Structure 1
Amino acid sequence: MRDNHRFRMADGAEFVGHQGDSFEMRVSMPSDDQGFFGRQCPECSLVFRMDARQYEALPDDLILWCVYCGHHAEHSEFVTEHQRNRAVQAVSDFGRQLVSHELRKMFSRLPRGSRSGGLSFSYESQSFFPRPLPGIDEEQLVRIRTCPGCHINYAVFSEHRYCPGCGPLPATSVAFDALQADTARLDALEALPSDAKALLREQGVFARGWVDTVKSVVGVVEYLASSLFRTAVPHADSLLNGKGAIFQRLDPMADLIIDAGFSDLRTVLGPQAWQRLLETWAARHVFTHNDGIVDEKYLARVPGSSARIGQRLVPTEDMCRQALTDAKALCETLIDVLR
């Protein structure tokens, strides 16, 4: 009898064969309704999902990247907990049958009722019925992302910086994804039931989220502008020498880009949009360095403000949404100007 007929395997598991003491099994890992299946980083333990058909077409020696922390290793190391449990059960069922088979073979060589040293040995095998393999019940994808470099489709469940197939994502992808995430956060808070919103407002969750959004847009622009500038300007390091965190400061950043031979961001965007951005950057400064307390520097940058020195700046949802819109426009302008 052939080995693959000797062992009973659950649906989804298959005994392929063996050579010497090495046994080979195949255990299927079901995909979700969109054809995606999970991968789990062995370093940070977070799960992401990949298109199963694309994954099958990738090289056997594929080095996979964690989309969150950037850990990269041989792709077989990215097995999820659910997938591991499914494989372990299949191996366990196979192992029980293998032990039973070996015992039956060993006892078949002994005379029936054999005695040795006053002991009697016998063995009676029983029919084995494998248990159904556990399903894969992992977090489902919300939307599909496509890497602009290698075009692999994947899904994430947190902020990410890497493509699972080719590594670090372009700065443009990271920037626009971050702005979209901040917009989604505002939308999610607004969609909460009224009683939940009232409780969270009273506890300061909304105000804290708005402050975080203002801080975030400045960080997004700083990251994108720095990356684009260093790529577009061959002598970027010499121009940046001694200038500190210049990409956190709008007017010095605009002057730097002019000095490198590019257009004036202020002219391309227009004075009204630029002034709103200056006000957002000023708000970020007092939120970050002065707990939101208005000072002379803030009033100098926001001359139209009705706030007085010593008052606390209070963010609003409208302020945040306008900041996101303006930051997106600035990012698009940076791409056009520094291409």
Structure 2
Amino acid sequence: MFKNLLRSLETIEKTKQLSIPIKTDSKGYIDKQCPNTDCEFLFKVNENDWRNIFRDEVVWCPMCGHSAEPKQWFTIAQVEHVKTEALTVLQGHINQAMRDDAQKFNSRKSRNNFISMSMNVSGGHSRTFIFPAAATEAMQLEIQCEKCSSRFAVIGSAYFCPACGHNSVERMFQDSLRKIRAKKDNMELVRAAFDAVGKKDDGELTCRSLIETCLQDGVTAFQKYCEKLYEMNPGAATPPFNAFQRLAQGSDLWHAVIGIGYNDLLSTKQLDALNILFQKRHLLAHSEGIVDDKYIKMSGDKTYKVGQHIGVSGFEVDDLVESLTKLATGLRASAHYPPALIG
């Protein structure tokens, strides 16, 4: 009576794998997600590069650098889709087999004129074909690795190539500056969001904090950039700890190895303004932004008195980004490092 059902169950039991395709987005990228539960960063990789450039052994997370086998990089949404599709399709096969058995049973004429029997199968899933996993919308920042040429896309920042694990010094620095600009340029959106829920004061505090962190982000990004470039010079000794957070000391270190200091790349006015911003960053990090004698002495800033709280303006953030960009570009050009080294 249930031959089709039994046959279908046997087929399901023998089926070891169910192939469920994953769609690409409009630009030919497929979704991936970091399997590290502390990260779970979403990104995309070019489908052709995934087949032709990515290695069979390992993939790296563009954000945290976590490495794992390629089969571990499905997104949470893709995994849930696969589970749902597999269950739906298997139920569809069982449902269809039962319907076929019922139709066959009902097609036979009963030999007993006093008893009439029929079989009816209702409900259940009838779909036996697979829907592919949909792709999320295209991501804004598309990147091509300088080392292996693989293409990937992210929202925000990326520090590692998912195909080869390459850590691009240049890209990290540029992403940090882009993050600083984004913070500064979106202050009004932040204020409006707080105003909309009646928390105007909280909005001002948040905006002040955001723009102050721009100084910390800029100084840290420049420090890391300089450390990476500096260590590539064969004649350079290991610099003192956080030396490139101090403009005078950093300039002297560069002058000793390449014959170029910061005063060769920035005007006196620009360098003085940058020094004030570096000192403001130090004050915010170590003294909650409260002016002391050391700040006035080191910065030469006469606009504040001891005990005041320093302020940071959007114009100062623009000046910071401009000056750091000039320094980084000038140092890289003057040192003549091969592009393959710093990527």
Give the TM-score category using the shorter length. 0.7 to 0.9
Percent sequence identity over matched residues?
A: 20
Residue aligning to 1:224? 225
Residues of 2 paired with 1:322 and 1:261: CA distance?
25
Distance 1:296 1:211, change over 3 A: same
Higher mean C-alpha deviation, range 305-314 or range 127-136: 127-136
Distance 1:30 1:195, change over 3 A: closer
Higher mean C-alpha deviation, range 256-265 or range 219-228: 256-265
Residues of 2 paired with 1:62 and 1:246: CA distance?
39
Alpha-carbon contact 1:40-1:79 (below 8 Å) kept: yes
Deviation per CA, 1:261-319: give whole Å up to 9, x if none. Answer: 43222223232221121111111011111111111121123324311011110111111
Distance 1:38 1:161, change over 3 A: same
Residue aligning to 2:340? none
Residue aligning to 2:241? 244
In the TM superposition, residue 231 of structure 1 has moved relative to its aligned partner by 0.8
Residue 295 in structure 1 maps to residue 283 in structure 2: no
Deviation per CA, 1:10-58: give whole Å up to 9, x if none. Answer: xxxxxxxx9x945443322112222222101111222111222322333
Aligned 1:49-198 pairs, distance under 5 A: 49-58=44-53, 61-96=56-91, 128-130=126-128, 133=131, 136=134, 138=136, 140-190=138-188, 196=194
Residue 325 in structure 1 maps to residue 322 in structure 2: yes
**TM-score after normalising by structure 2:** 0.78
Alpha-carbon contact 2:170-2:225 (below 8 Å) kept: yes
Distance 1:278 1:224, change over 3 A: same
Residue aligning to 1:11? none
> Which structure shows the bigger proportion of residues in strand conformation?
1
Higher mean C-alpha deviation, range 166-175 or range 152-161: 152-161
Residue aligning to 2:19? 26
The residue type equivalent to 1:34 in the other structure is K
Residues of 2 paired with 1:310 and 1:147: CA distance?
49
Residues of 2 paired with 1:179 and 1:125: CA distance?
64
The residue type equivalent to 2:127 in the other structure is F
The residue type equivalent to 1:220 in the other structure is A
Residue 199 in structure 1 maps to residue 197 in structure 2: no
Residue aligning to 1:15? none
Alpha-carbon contact 1:207-1:316 (below 8 Å) kept: no
The residue type equivalent to 1:128 in the other structure is S
SS in 2 for 1:144: strand
Residues of 2 paired with 1:154 and 1:212: CA distance?
29
Residue aligning to 1:277? 274
In the TM superposition, residue 335 of structure 1 has moved relative to its aligned partner by 1.3
Distance 1:85 1:201, change over 3 A: closer
Residue aligning to 1:35? 28
Residues of 2 paired with 1:100 and 1:191: CA distance?
53
In the TM superposition, residue 202 of structure 1 has moved relative to its aligned partner by 5.0
Distance 1:227 1:34, change over 3 A: same
Higher mean C-alpha deviation, range 168-177 or range 280-289: 168-177
Aligned 1:304-319 pairs, distance under 5 A: 304-319=301-316
Residues of 2 paired with 1:134 and 1:28: CA distance?
5
**TM-score after normalising by structure 1:** 0.78
Residues of 2 paired with 1:104 and 1:179: CA distance?
64
Deviation per CA, 1:109-139: give whole Å up to 9, x if none. Answer: xxx9xxxxxxxxx998789334773753636
Residues of 2 paired with 1:201 and 1:322: CA distance?
27
Distance 1:306 1:101, change over 3 A: closer
Residues of 1 paired with 2:201 and 2:31: CA distance?
33
In the TM superposition, residue 252 of structure 1 has moved relative to its aligned partner by 0.8
**Structure 1 gaps, min length 5:** 1-5, 8-17, 113-121
**Structure 2 gaps, min length 5:** 1-6, 109-117, 338-343
Cα RMSD of the aligned pairs, angstroms, is: 3.4
Higher mean C-alpha deviation, range 50-59 or range 175-184: 50-59
Residues of 1 paired with 2:54 and 2:302: CA distance?
59
Alpha-carbon contact 2:59-2:68 (below 8 Å) kept: yes
The residue type equivalent to 1:185 in the other structure is K
In the TM superposition, residue 326 of structure 1 has moved relative to its aligned partner by 1.2
